[in-house]
């Protein structure tokens, strides 16, 4: 755990190959590399970043959200290389509803190694067990754009169920987009990957 004076505790999580750590201002280049990649933002309501200031603003937004107990975003740190390879976390945290929406992204050079599954699984375990400031969640939701097959595979593998399609639910990059809604309940979750102590 990392706690600054008068601030909300930021939980850090270890998995066999990764550490989920607080996303800090010094991660601006890593975040820029991530979101300036067309492959990463292909299904996002986000234009590719063209300036490092956009990365700094995003990190600032994540930090502000966590300070207000409205969400959390970790840097995904790869132990073997000693670098940040992606991010994951929750937004739309509701302590009243005990629900949140999950998000995740990885640099394409690291796709296909199970890192995203490992990171997201650990984040879910923490959220369901009450290890985060939002209290123990009962439900985690994920929204994917049809065609984002890697994301869907990851969600299904962790036990998420497809709940329906919200037609033309979003408008970005000059077009309406359907959103597939996935949900996972605490009572259904069996973690397929063990965390490190």
Ligand X SMILES: CC(C)(COP(=O)(O)OP(=O)(O)OC[C@H]1O[C@@H](n2cnc3c(N)ncnc32)[C@H](O)[C@@H]1OP(=O)(O)O)[C@@H](O)C(=O)NCCC(=O)NCCS
Stretch that binds ligand X, among 63-71, 111-119, 166-174, 186-194 (CB under 6 A): 111-119
112 part of the interface to ligand X, by CB under 6 A: yes
91 part of the interface to ligand X, by CB under 6 A: no
117 part of the interface to ligand X, by CB under 6 A: yes
113 part of the interface to ligand X, by CB under 6 A: yes
Considering only 78, 132, 154, 184, the residue that binds ligand X (CB under 6 A) is 154
How far apart are CB 149 and ligand X at their closest, in Å? Answer: 3
Residue with Cβ nearer ligand X (72 or 106)? 106
Please state the separation of Cα 112 from the chain's center in Å: 17
DSSP-assigned letters across all residues of 49-70? P-SHHHHHHHHHHHHHHHHTTS
Cα separation, 24 vs 56, whole angstroms: 9
- Take residue 51 and report the two structure tokens written for it: 């300036």
How far apart are CB 119 and ligand X at their closest, in Å? Answer: 8
15 part of the interface to ligand X, by CB under 6 A: no
Residue 94: name the closest of 141, 58, 155 by CA.
Answer: 141
40 part of the interface to ligand X, by CB under 6 A: yes
151 part of the interface to ligand X, by CB under 6 A: yes
At CA 188, angle to CA 184 and CA 192, rounded to 5?
90
- Take residue 164 and report the two structure tokens written for it: 């329906």
User: Which H/E stretch holds residue 169?
Assistant: strand 161-172
45 part of the interface to ligand X, by CB under 6 A: no
Could you give the C-alpha distances from 3 to 67, 112, 122, in angstroms and in order? 11, 34, 20
Residues that bind ligand X (CB under 6 A): 40, 43, 104-106, 111-117, 142, 144, 148-151, 153-154, 157
């Amino acid at each position: 755990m990392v706690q600054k004076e008068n601030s909300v505790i930021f939980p850090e999580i270890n998995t066999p190959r990764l550490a989920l750590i607080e996303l800090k201002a010094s991660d601006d280049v890593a975040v820029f590399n991530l979101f300036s990649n067309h492959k990463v933002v292909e299904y996002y309501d986000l234009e590719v970043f063209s300036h490092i200031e956009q990365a700094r603003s995003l990190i600032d937004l994540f930090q502000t959200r966590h300070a207000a107990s409205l969400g959390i975003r970790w840097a995904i740190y790869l132990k073997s290389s000693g670098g940040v390879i992606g991010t994951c976390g929750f937004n739309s945290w509701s302590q009243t509803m005990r629900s949140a929406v999950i998000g995740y992204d990885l640099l394409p050079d690291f796709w296909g190694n199970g890192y995203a599954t490992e990171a997201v699984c650990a984040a879910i375990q923490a959220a369901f067990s009450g290890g985060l400031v939002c209290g123990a969640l009962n439900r985690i939701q994920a929204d994917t754009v049809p065609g984002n097959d890697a994301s869907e595979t990851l969600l299904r593998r962790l036990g998420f169920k497809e709940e329906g399609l919200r037609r033309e639910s979003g408008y970005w990059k000059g077009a309406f987009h359907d959103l597939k809604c996935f949900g996972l309940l605490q009572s259904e979750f069996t973690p397929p990957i063990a965390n490190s102590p």
